[in-house]
Amino acid sequence: MAITKIFYHTDFENHIPTLNNPECSKRVANIINLIKEENFANISFVEPNKIKKELIYAAHDKNFVDETLNKFPENDEIVYLDQETPVSQGSKDATLRAAGAGIDAVESILDGSCKNAFCIVRPPGHHACIDRSMGFCVFNNVAVAAHYLINKYSFSNIAIIDFDVHHGNGTQDIFYNNKNVNYYSTHQFPLYPGTGDLNETGVGNIFNVPLVSGTASDTYKKLFQEKIINQLKIQKPDFMIISAGFDAHSADPLANINLVENDFSYITDQLKMIANNYCEGRLLSMLEGGYDINALEQSILTHIKILQT
């Protein structure tokens, strides 16, 4: 039976567990129990391995990676990699497992032991640029996974779809001149980090869909179909990666887009159909944002429900 693998490790709860920060441990502390209560028929839980730092070099500057790994504290200190990106004693293991989850998921999808995968990771990744951490993100988890696909398995037609409410400036930065990857993003604009305008097109591989504050379900679905799904049908990708941020939910405190849980079900269903039609179902999803705990939990459940059916 084809299954969906859920990659999770308790190390993700040890990343800045004591700090009153929106990207907090409570975001994931109860999610595995909630998933188990749903009695999904086709899922399997996996603990991801820590990534080897050499694999991170593919997406990031080597000096930046080495310097960042040396900044993690070994005591109760909190260190800020930038003004929005704190790390604690438990953050190094969490960071290495977050990036490692994408690698493990890629291997599972390609060896046929699962049909798709969802990595419930902390810290998130899509703001991490080639040579800097920012916006709660240390290393760019989806970019590391995409480069792994390119370098080890010679994939050359990858799609990364980012529905986080904040633009994934780091992912765009890393792939801006890389024709092996098309990057698609829906995001509130203007909003942190200030990137993601229509004129940012890379080498014809960047597709930004900026959304005005207050955008609701009907408008979002129309734009998603016209600007994302229709372009994916033109691209016909051979592997799909999702930056799954659930902070476009109406309850989220950090933005003002008015989606609800059913909208994330719709988004997931549409992307899964593209994967089934063009990628032999190869679909990797990795958690990014989402800062209202209940809204995040319920949205994750809707996401998994579609992935595993």
Distance CA(122)–CA(250), nearest Å, equals 22
Could you tell me how far CA 9 lies from the centroid of its own chain? 16
Taking only the tens place, the pLDDT of each residue in 28-77 is 999 999 999 999 999 999 999 999 999 999 999 999 999 999 999 999 99
* pLDDT on residue 23: 97
Dump the DSSP string for 191-220.
Answer: -TT----TT--TTTTEEEEEE-TT-BHHHH
**What is the distance between the alpha carbons of residues 116 and 88, in angstroms, rounded to a whole number?**
31
Phi, psi angle pair for 58, to nearest 5°: -65, -30
Going from N- to C-terminal start, the domains of the chain cover 4-307
CB under 8 Å to 183, separation ≥6 — which residues?
160, 162, 168, 171, 172, 175, 202, 205, 206, 207
Active site residues: 127
Q: CB within 8 A of 189, min separation 6: which ones? A: 167, 196, 197, 210, 211, 212
pLDDT of residue 1: 55
Interatomic CA distance for residues 45 and 7, integer angstroms: 6
Q: Which residues contact 72 (CB under 8 A, 6 or more apart)?
A: 79, 87, 89, 91, 92, 95
Q: At 296, is the secondary structure helix, strand, or coil?
A: helix
Per residue of the chain (309 residues), what is the pLDDT tens digit?
Answer: 579 999 999 999 999 998 899 999 999 999 999 999 999 999 999 999 999 999 999 999 999 999 999 999 999 999 999 999 999 999 999 999 999 999 999 999 999 999 999 999 999 999 999 999 999 999 999 999 999 999 999 999 999 999 999 999 999 999 999 999 999 999 999 999 999 999 999 999 999 999 999 999 999 999 999 999 999 999 999 999 999 999 999 999 999 999 999 999 999 999 999 999 999 999 999 999 999 999 999 999 999 999 999
Q: Determine the pLDDT at residue 294.
A: 98
| Eight-class DSSP state of 42 | S
Please tell me whether the overall predicted TM-score, pTM, comes out greater than 0.85 for this model: yes
Distances (CA, A) of 211 to 96, 207, 238, 285, 289: 33, 13, 28, 22, 17
Q: Amino acid letter at 27?
A: R
Distance CA 307, CA 309 (A): 6
4-307 is classed CATH 3.40.800.20: yes
